[in-house]
Amino acid sequence: MPLAPRHWIAVALIWIVAACAATAQESTAFFEIESLNEGLGPPPEDLDRATPQSTMEALLDLVREGDRMAAAHLLDLSDIATEEQAAKGPRLAADLVQVLDRKAVINWSDLLERPDALETRGSSDNPVAGQPQRSILIDIVDLETRPVALRLNRVKPVDGSPVWVFSSQTVANIPALHALYGPTWIEEELPPSWREEAAWGLMRWELVGLPLLIGLATLAGLLVGRLQAAVAARVRSRTLTDILRATRTPIIVAVVTGTAALVTDAIFIFSGKIDTVLTPLIVLGFTAAAILFVLNGVDAVLNRIVPFDDDNLFDANMEDRRNLATRIAAGRRILIVLIVIVGGGVVLSEANLTSALGLSLLASAGALTLLIGFAARHILGNILASLQIAMNRSAKIGDTVLYRDYWCNVERINFTYVQLRSWTGARIVAPVSEFVNEPFENWTMREPSIIRQVEIRLAHDAAVAPLRKAFYEFVDKGDIEGLGERDSHMVLTTGHDVFGKTVTFCVACADANSSWTASCAMREALLERMAEMQADGRPMFPKVTPAESA
């Protein structure tokens, strides 16, 4: 249906209003200034300052080509006296490029090739989408007292067109930034050929300096470790030995990290490609050293309160001590989780990892949570399972358990695994999640006493009464250690098949820890008595061939 004339008039008015609004918005998308760099004279005719990207490209190219005077026109020198602009401008432009190379991370996707820097790609998390811009943040760089911003501003002199230049605030901070991050005296003494770009955007001295830094930091760590080991070998005090043992690893980590930090601050100021990785690693190293220092110190103190390697924890009468040891171990795991969370927050805030490594998209809440949750789902599950054991006390440190037919004691309940010691001394390592999900027998959960079953197969016509009598003789004689009260022992015929009958001797043991050896000793004594009865002509052992028994 064709539009009526009044409808066409309404549409035309809407377009006119929209165009006027866009024009008004465009007219305010700059900072008005009286003049721009009058002390430099007119800019070169081929100097392109129309867009943020062209200004950044021109600055980097002109400084590297040696045309610093032309590069000075890319700075807003309004805060510098007119008569001093020609002398200071070129030097400030060169210093700014060095700061950008060494500390800033330039996101070229933000430097649009449009005079109004209007972001046409709409996005819900982009607050400037669809709006012209008059200031763009390049990066934030730390000074000794505060962080400062490096910005490109769109300015319009009274008698000129709008152009993009580095803001006057950025220019004011260039001397302090260059003094902190510019070339060190060692770099300035190097031959010019060593300061030229060699490979991967790095200077030749950086290709040599980075391996040298790694080697120097490693050597410092080795020397400190050797020195601490030598001191520990001469110390006779247990307290001092524990201190040296607890602080050895964190001190080595701190020395390695401190050496790297000292070299990068005072000797070699690496370019941004290396610094964006090196700075987070240094922060991570110091944080790891602090975390290890706290954790090792806590372990040393807790080990003094309850020695986890003390065999007395396996004693049946040490229930309270086992409870305390388990609670302390659980508290230690909770403390580790809290310290790691705090340390991770410190690393992320101090090192600014998301911007330094270009992970701004990945660091969004949903993507980062999904990635970490998927990668660490097994670890987190084991951690929660270990805390579950500590809370429900289904197994405590020092308990005697039967796990997958292994008779063993619980030695440690760690974050991701449970360490068990079998009766042979072998260590069984079971993932916490599997240990929790599978049934196991806890022989010391409520009381230390336990009844062990010794099953022996007899012939069809074997008499059980003589063996029952012999069994109680062994109990009364007391040669087998760790047996309980006499009334708790039993002898029962528990099975029968074509091969013979099964007799179960219930051995009551006062201590679950010694019940295994007690039951083995009782089995040995019964078999010897059965052999004597068999020799006297009384049938005892089933008459079964190996083929039949198989």
Q: Which residues pair with 203 in a beta bridge?
A: 197
d(CA 23, CA 41): 31
32: exposed, middle or buried (Cβ count in 10 Å: 0-12, 13-18, 19+) = exposed
Q: Does residue 355 register a pLDDT over 50?
A: no
Shortest CA distance to 521 belongs to which of 454, 449, 425?
454
Predicted confidence band at 326 (pLDDT cuts at 50, 70, 90)?
A: low
Q: Does residue 411 register a pLDDT over 60?
A: yes
Which pLDDT score is estimated for 369? 57
Q: CATH says 450-549 is which class?
A: alpha beta
For the whole model, what pTM was predicted?
0.53
Q: Cα–Cα–Cα angle for 363, 385, 297, nearest 5°?
A: 75
3-state SS string for 27-70: HCCCEEECCCCHHHCCCCCCCCCCCHHHHHHHHHHHHHHCCHHH
φ and ψ at 319, to 5 degrees? -60, -45
Whether the CB-CB separation of 279 and 102 falls below 8 Å is answered with: no
Which pLDDT score is estimated for 525? 92
DSSP string, 369-432: HHHHHHHTHHHHHHHHHHHHHHHHTSS-TT-EEEETTEEEEEEEE-SSEEEEEETTS-EEEEEH
Amino acid identity at 327: R
d(CA 253, CA 217): 10
d(CA 481, CA 344): 54
Which pLDDT score is estimated for 21? 44
Predicted confidence band at 191 (pLDDT cuts at 50, 70, 90)?
A: confident
d(CA 279, CA 264): 9
Output DSSP code: residue 107: -
Looking at mean pLDDT, say which of 257-271, 379-393, 519-533 comes out highest: 519-533
Q: What element of type H or E holds 4?
A: none
φ and ψ at 26, to 5 degrees? -65, -35
Q: What is the mean pLDDT of residues 362-369?
A: 50
Q: What is the mean pLDDT of residues 291-310?
A: 67
Strands across the sheet with 441-442, in order? 427-431, 417-422, 406-413, 400-403, 441-442
Predicted confidence band at 22 (pLDDT cuts at 50, 70, 90)?
A: very low
Predicted confidence band at 15 (pLDDT cuts at 50, 70, 90)?
A: low
Which pLDDT score is estimated for 19? 47
Q: What 3-state DSSP class applies to 198?
A: strand
327: exposed, middle or buried (Cβ count in 10 Å: 0-12, 13-18, 19+) = middle
Q: Does residue 505 register a pLDDT over 90?
A: yes
Q: Does residue 396 register a pLDDT over 70?
A: yes
Stretch among 2-16, 302-316, 425-439 having the lowest mean pLDDT: 2-16
Measured over all CA atoms, what is the biggest interatomic distance in the chain, rounded to whole angstroms?
A: 129
3-state SS string for 113-169: CCCCCCECCCCCCCCCECCCCCEEEEEEEECCCCEEEEEEEEEEECCCCCEEEECHH
pLDDT digits (tens, 9 = 90+) for 68-117: 999 999 999 988 988 999 999 999 998 898 888 877 778 777 788 888 77
Q: Does residue 281 register a pLDDT over 90?
A: no
Tokens of 537: 């002509």
CA distances 442 to 79, 394, 399, 416, 518, Å, are 79, 8, 7, 20, 18
Shortest CA distance to 89 belongs to which of 99, 102, 78, 98?
78
Strands 147-157 and 31-33: parallel
DSSP string, 480-532: STTB--GGG-EEEEEEEETTEEEEEEEEEES-HHHHHHHHHHHHHHHHHHHHH
d(CA 376, CA 407): 32
Output DSSP code: residue 457: E
Which pLDDT score is estimated for 166? 92
Looking at mean pLDDT, say which of 79-88, 319-328, 512-521 comes out highest: 79-88
Region of 506 (left: φ > 0; alpha: ψ -120 to 50; beta: rest) is beta
The residue written with tokens 């020799």 in the block is: 535
Where in the chain are the domains?
Answer: 31-182, 192-292, 306-447, 450-549
d(CA 251, CA 259): 12
Which pLDDT score is estimated for 526? 92
Which pLDDT score is estimated for 342? 74
pLDDT digits (tens, 9 = 90+) for 201-224: 677 777 777 888 888 888 988 898
Whether the CB-CB separation of 500 and 458 falls below 8 Å is answered with: yes
CA distances 317 to 226, 314, 516, Å, are 44, 9, 18
d(CA 154, CA 305): 67
d(CA 170, CA 193): 31
Which pLDDT score is estimated for 524? 92
CA distances 483 to 111, 188, 486, Å, are 84, 84, 8
Whether the CB-CB separation of 297 and 246 falls below 8 Å is answered with: yes
CA 233 to chain CA mean position, Å:
33
Strands 400-403 and 427-431: unpaired
Q: What is the dihedral of CA 77, 40, 54, 155, to 10 degrees?
A: 50
Whether the CB-CB separation of 74 and 165 falls below 8 Å is answered with: yes
Predicted confidence band at 16 (pLDDT cuts at 50, 70, 90)?
A: low
Predicted confidence band at 244 (pLDDT cuts at 50, 70, 90)?
A: confident
Which pLDDT score is estimated for 92? 92
d(CA 390, CA 230): 39
Predicted confidence band at 523 (pLDDT cuts at 50, 70, 90)?
A: very high
Q: Does residue 542 register a pLDDT over 60?
A: yes
pLDDT digits (tens, 9 = 90+) for 33-50: 888 888 888 888 889 998
d(CA 269, CA 103): 9
